[in-house]
Amino acid sequence: MSSGRRVIGAQIGTSTYPIHLGAGAIGDLAAEWPAEASGSAALLVYDENVAHIAETVRAAIERAGKQVVSAPVPPGESSKSLASVERLCRDAAAAGIRRRDTVVAVGGGVLGDLAGFVAAAYQRGIGLIHVPTTLLAMVDSAVGGKTGVDLPEGKNYVGAIWQPAMVVMDTTTLDSLPPRELSCGFAEVIKYGLLDGRELFDLVDGWPTLPGPQEPLVDLIQRCVAHKLGVVAADERDLGMRATLNFGHTIGHGIEAAAGYARYQHGEAISLGMLAALRISSELTGLPESWRDRTRAVIARHDLPVQLDAAVSTEEILDATRRDKKSDGRALNMVVLDDVGAPSINADPAEDLVIAAIEELRQ
């Protein structure tokens, strides 16, 4: 086993499963295939952009003695649709995939959400193994069990909570990830730094380049995963503390939507959203402004935006923010920081405060 490889035990509700993390972790699929995935076949659902990684995964599944049924999916958010779910379920049925067989999901958050939902729904639920291949998927979407697809009416509107039997985070898969995607994943890492506390924030603040040296990177991912697991374990169904993971996302989602999901990638929009949330925190809780300055510097250092495009109007951001499904229709439920490492929910910050925080992003 190469240095830095490790196994994290996840425990969420009644589910317990291992997360294999480190360079070469895909090899563990063969040796550590979960006992409950006792069927003779696996549906290998993969993003076409990671066909090279899917080949390695296929070989590992075959070494585990399973027959592999391949199901490539075109890249992009548009694949997170009910049409894709129907196609994959029908492919599974045609190939004879049964209740004890397993979906193996290889790709970023789009693929993981889609394939995870197929696993949750097909024959009322079959086994699932996540093999995330983006930094965002490793620190965020492959952890916690949320799966789903989009409707024309809204993102992630149809889905299920479905925990995997195993997660395999092989950090060498990040070698082919485009720099912009690495930066977007790092935006979520910065978020964990602010939510978790000074020690993790300092580590994030001092991060050299992306993805960064292997062993420290494995440590960094582990710390983010541990933070998310801790919060999710306490609130699997997203009724309380899990909402704190939404830090920077209230205004971030508003910016993403107001810009037509085109100008900004998710991680870019939430970088701006975090800066606005830090401003609002300073006003409401007295959080020192120096945290916003440090965060702004680390965001800029990793090629994420610190300045809002003039073409995106504040009014449209506010409208989109109010429509966001995370707000309950009346209140924004904004996550603020009482301190770094101490998030809380402010149901309804004054509108002029929110507007001022958005306007400040234009400077």
Ligand X SMILES: NC(=O)c1ccc[n+]([C@@H]2O[C@H](COP(=O)([O-])OP(=O)(O)OC[C@H]3O[C@@H](n4cnc5c(N)ncnc54)[C@H](O)[C@@H]3O)[C@@H](O)[C@H]2O)c1
Backbone angles phi, psi at 191, to 5 degrees: -55, -45
Residue ranges in 94-133 that form contacts with ligand X under rule CB under 6 A: 107-111, 113, 133
Contact 176, 136 (CB under 8 A): no
| DSSP state, residue 347 | S
Minimum CB–partner distance for residue 150 and ligand X (Å): 8
**With the C-alpha atoms ordered 236, 202, 332, 80, is the resulting torsion angle positive or negative?**
negative
User: Measured at CB, which residue is nearest to ligand X?
Assistant: 109
Minimum CB–partner distance for residue 144 and ligand X (Å): 5
Nearer to ligand X, 270 or 287 (CB): 270
Minimum CB–partner distance for residue 67 and ligand X (Å): 25
Reduce the DSSP state of residue 75 to 3 states and report it: coil
Minimum CB–partner distance for residue 293 and ligand X (Å): 27
Backbone angles phi, psi at 345, to 5 degrees: -100, 130
How far is Cα 33 from Cα 42, in angstroms, rounded to an integer?
11
Contact 6, 19 (CB under 8 A): no
The verdict on 41 binding ligand X (CB under 6 A) reads no
String marking each residue 176-215 x if it binds ligand X according to CB under 6 A: xx---x--x-------------------------------
- Which residue of 56, 84, 102, 134 would you call a contact of ligand X, by CB under 6 A? 134
Minimum CB–partner distance for residue 146 and ligand X (Å): 4
- Which residue of 32, 55, 62, 77 would you call a contact of ligand X, by CB under 6 A? 77
Nearer to ligand X, 172 or 333 (CB): 172
Cis previous bond, 211, omega within 30: yes
How far is Cα 4 from Cα 169, in angstroms, rounded to an integer?
12
Return the range that interacts with ligand X (CB under 6 A); candidates 9-17, 20-28, 72-80, 208-216. Answer: 72-80
The verdict on 78 binding ligand X (CB under 6 A) reads no
E strand or H helix at 339: strand 334-339
How far is Cα 14 from Cα 165, in angstroms, rounded to an integer?
12
The two tokens of residue 245 are: 């993971």
Nearer to ligand X, 156 or 314 (CB): 156
Minimum CB–partner distance for residue 182 and ligand X (Å): 10
Minimum CB–partner distance for residue 183 and ligand X (Å): 11
What residues contact 329, with CB distance under 8 A and at least 6 apart? none
Nearer to ligand X, 61 or 245 (CB): 245
What residues contact 40, with CB distance under 8 A and at least 6 apart? 66, 67, 101
DSSP symbols for 245-287? GGTTHHHHHHHHHHTTTTSS-HHHHHHHHHHHHHHHHHHHH--
Return the range that interacts with ligand X (CB under 6 A); candidates 20-28, 174-182, 194-202, 251-259. Answer: 174-182
The verdict on 140 binding ligand X (CB under 6 A) reads yes
Contact 26, 5 (CB under 8 A): no
Residue ranges in 146-165 that form contacts with ligand X under rule CB under 6 A: 146, 156
The verdict on 80 binding ligand X (CB under 6 A) reads yes
The verdict on 47 binding ligand X (CB under 6 A) reads yes
The verdict on 24 binding ligand X (CB under 6 A) reads no
Residue ranges in 254-293 that form contacts with ligand X under rule CB under 6 A: none
Reduce the DSSP state of residue 195 to 3 states and report it: helix
Binding site for ligand X (CB under 6 A): 47, 49-50, 75, 77, 80, 107-111, 113, 133-134, 136-137, 140-141, 144, 146, 156, 173, 176-177, 181, 184
